[in-house]
Amino acid sequence: MKVRPPRTDYRLAQLTEAATPAEPFALFTRWFSRILKDGGPDPHAFALATADSKGAPGVRMMLLKEWSEAGFVFATNQQSRKGRDIAATGKASMLFYWPALQRQIRIEGPIAPVSERASDEYFSERPRDAQLGAWASRQSRAIAGREVLASRLARAAKRFEGAAVERPEYWGGYRLEPRRIEFWQGRVSRLHDRILYTKRGRTWSKTRLSP
């Protein structure tokens, strides 16, 4: 079956070398602040790509918890497929896509778990039903049916009735430390602007890529 997706007219903005800072974080701040202000759908959402020890890829949507020059943080079940991939390779890639601004940001680098204390903090910020859900789900594992989840959720709710929900030992945060950050701005004629920042030692270099 052939598909004919609509052709977006990319005319909102441009990205020039002269308008980009020497390091990528100021530009990420500028773009992220803009999408938060404009109210685009799920601005914190990103696609996380990993691969297992044999190179088989996997990708899924995640939510950004926090970021700084030290890296970009999210949290998940660390026994899930992505957790096993990360344990095997120590590498991952993120993609933020903001169609309202005709922009993408790709981030690549090594990834590792955050501290237990940080994971506790992230878990405490989750709504209670999401905390209980973390106990109910053995993420990425096969189950007999949805009733299994309902039963596990009921047991978790009973276990923590009238008390704070503890963080499961298998749930925690990860921090991706960027080595490459690419900023993509849609342009006319599909001649998009792509500015790649690459980290070498403690410094960043900046390169324009062909679309």
State the catalytic residues: 190
Cβ–Cβ < 8 Å for 117, 108: no
Question: In angstroms, what CA-CA distances link 40 with 31, 36, 37, 154, 186?
Answer: 12, 7, 8, 36, 16
DSSP class per residue in 78-146: TTSHHHHHHHHH-EEEEEEEEGGGTEEEEEEEEEEE--HHHHHHHHHTS-HHHHHHHHH--TT---S-H
The one-letter amino acid code at 21 reads P
Both tokens of 36, joined, read 């938060």
Alpha-carbon distance 142 to 140, whole Å? 7
What's the rounded Cα separation, in Å, for the pair 138 and 125? 21
CB 176 within 8 A of CB 71: yes
CA-to-CA distance for 109 and 176, rounded, in angstroms? 6
Q: Which two tokens stand for residue 95?
A: 């993609």
